[in-house]
Amino acid sequence: MALLRLLVLLALVGSVWATWDTCRGTCGLRPMAFDRSSAPAEYSQDKDYEILDSSHGSSQDKGGTGIQPGAWPGIVSVQATRENGTWHMCSGALIHPQWVLTVAQCFFGAGDISKWEVVIGATDLSQPGPEAEVRHIQSLIVHRHYNPSTARNNMALLELERPVECSDYIQLGCVPDSSLAVPELRTCYIAGWRAAPDSAPGPRPLLQEAKVRLMDAQVCNSSRWYGGAVQPQELCAGYPRGGIDTCQGDIGGPLVCKDKTRDHFWLVGLASWGKGCAGAKRPGVFTSTQHFHTWILVQMGLLQPEADASPAESFPSLEKELQEDLEDELNPNNSEDYAGGSFQQQILGKFLNLMLELVQFLKGEKA
């Protein structure tokens, strides 16, 4: 039985095993980043919007702080190929070697996405460089309760055709579970692609960043701010005085915050909507990844669906038993400690335990 369970586990490892050596079972790392907080971006304030636009129309704006290659190793460019070329549509974040987290709005009315792809590890989209990876989208999962008029449940997952390998330029983002006190995080950044000032005659999207502050939810929802429009599943980030916002960025751009004690970053939000551009009392609004932590795990197959949810996938009985064993062992207190370790770590831990069982079994046979 131990041997049979071991063989099933090896089959389950499958696609992620090849990336174990490169991703090292970690997330939230920025090996080539450095603190640019002394020079935050000052974005212009000449564009009005209700729901953040994609890259269309942003090429004429100025501002933003350009960054060095590798400073944002988890950000992803979602692109569509059309008759007139390939276009950056929105951003996202790599949270697993084969999964990208982004916003549902990016795909609203998109139709056929068979020619869409993602670019990981790039800073200049016109010249991604040898360190970048390109993957086609194998499947798209949009939150079934997404409301385009209010941006409620503005969340989506992209399954890639095959896993990517991690490097200094490509790393996994950490989605926090309910145990992390996100409002207490103080060092936060936003990022997105914007056309370089010297990109004429054609656009040359460059990755840029800015330092922001998480805003108190009650203040952000007060009558002189957003007047109750911000939902519990959303975060506000920026400054009360304005000047820095996601208005020139694209939808799905990550909001990351540095951990208070450890040297890694949490992916706490994805750019969703706002009003005005970098105006006072009008910070950017982000979909909270923490709020969708369980949903993300269920869609990726790392947790069993809730009783009232539609099963994402049917497993043969033996695989289902193994999946339940994994959950029981990794969550002894029925907690969701996904952020503390990646799926590769979880599989490796179970693999080692089963190896010990196999050794004991073989010793028993010899005796």
* pLDDT at res. 283: 83
- Domains defined along the chain, listed by start: 2-22+315-337+342-366 (no CATH), 26-292 (2.40.10.10)
pLDDT per position as a tens digit, 146-170: 999 999 999 999 999 999 999 999 9
Given a contact cutoff of 8 angstroms between Cβ atoms, the answer to whether 178 and 34 are in contact is no
Q: Which one-letter amino acid corresponds to residue 254?
A: P
Tens place of pLDDT per residue across the chain (367 aa) = 555 554 544 444 444 433 444 677 789 888 887 544 433 443 333 333 334 444 333 332 334 456 788 889 999 999 998 888 888 999 999 999 999 999 999 999 888 898 899 999 999 898 888 999 999 999 999 999 999 999 999 999 999 999 999 999 999 999 999 999 999 998 999 998 877 666 555 667 888 888 899 988 888 888 888 888 888 999 998 877 655 555 545 789 999 999 999 888 999 999 998 765 655 566 889 999 999 999 999 999 988 887 334 433 333 333 444 455 455 444 544 433 333 444 444 455 555 666 666 666 666 665 5
Residue 263: count of CB within 10 angstroms of its CB: 9
- Give SS3 for 139: strand
* pLDDT at res. 254: 95
The residue to which tokens 């997105």 are assigned: 192
What CA–CA distance (Å, rounded) separates 322 from 6? 10
CA 102 to chain CA centroid, Å, is 6
C-alpha angle 278-280-282 in degrees, rounded to nearest 5:
65
* pLDDT at res. 41: 41
Given a contact cutoff of 8 angstroms between Cβ atoms, the answer to whether 257 and 182 are in contact is yes
Please name every residue paired with 270 in a beta bridge, in sequence order, or none if there are none.
287
Please name every residue paired with 273 in a beta bridge, in sequence order, or none if there are none.
51, 285
What CA–CA distance (Å, rounded) separates 324 from 318? 10
For the chain, percent helix, then strand, then coil, each to nearest 5?
Answer: 20, 25, 50
Given a contact cutoff of 8 angstroms between Cβ atoms, the answer to whether 237 and 43 are in contact is no
Given a contact cutoff of 8 angstroms between Cβ atoms, the answer to whether 269 and 102 are in contact is no
What CA–CA distance (Å, rounded) separates 102 from 104? 7
CA 76 to chain CA centroid, Å, is 8
Phi-psi category of residue 227: left, alpha or beta, with phi > 0 → left and psi -120 to 50 → alpha: left
What CA–CA distance (Å, rounded) separates 344 from 348? 6
What CA–CA distance (Å, rounded) separates 330 from 102? 27
Given a contact cutoff of 8 angstroms between Cβ atoms, the answer to whether 83 and 38 are in contact is no
Given a contact cutoff of 8 angstroms between Cβ atoms, the answer to whether 248 and 61 are in contact is yes
What CA–CA distance (Å, rounded) separates 51 from 68? 29
What CA–CA distance (Å, rounded) separates 275 from 263? 34
In this prediction the pTM is 0.72
What CA–CA distance (Å, rounded) separates 43 from 26? 33
* pLDDT at res. 132: 94
pLDDT per position as a tens digit, 236-247: 988 776 555 555
- DSSP letters along 90-142, please? EEEEEEETTEEEE-GGGGTT----TTEEEEES-SBTTS--TT-EEEEEEEEEE
* pLDDT at res. 43: 36
Residue 21 CB contacts under 8 Å (≥ 6 apart), including other chains: none
* pLDDT at res. 121: 93
The residue to which tokens 């179970």 are assigned: 350
Question: Quick one: CA dihedral 209, 129, 173, 79, positive or negative?
Answer: positive
Question: Quick one: CA dihedral 27, 296, 82, 149, positive or negative?
Answer: negative
* pLDDT at res. 23: 76
* pLDDT at res. 245: 52
* pLDDT at res. 200: 55
Query: Which structure tokens are listed for 220?
Result: 């952000």
CA nearest 357: which of 20, 48, 9? 9
* pLDDT at res. 127: 87
* pLDDT at res. 364: 66
* pLDDT at res. 185: 94
* pLDDT at res. 90: 93
* pLDDT at res. 361: 65
The residue to which tokens 């490169």 are assigned: 22
Kind plus residue range of the DSSP H or E element containing 348: helix 343-366
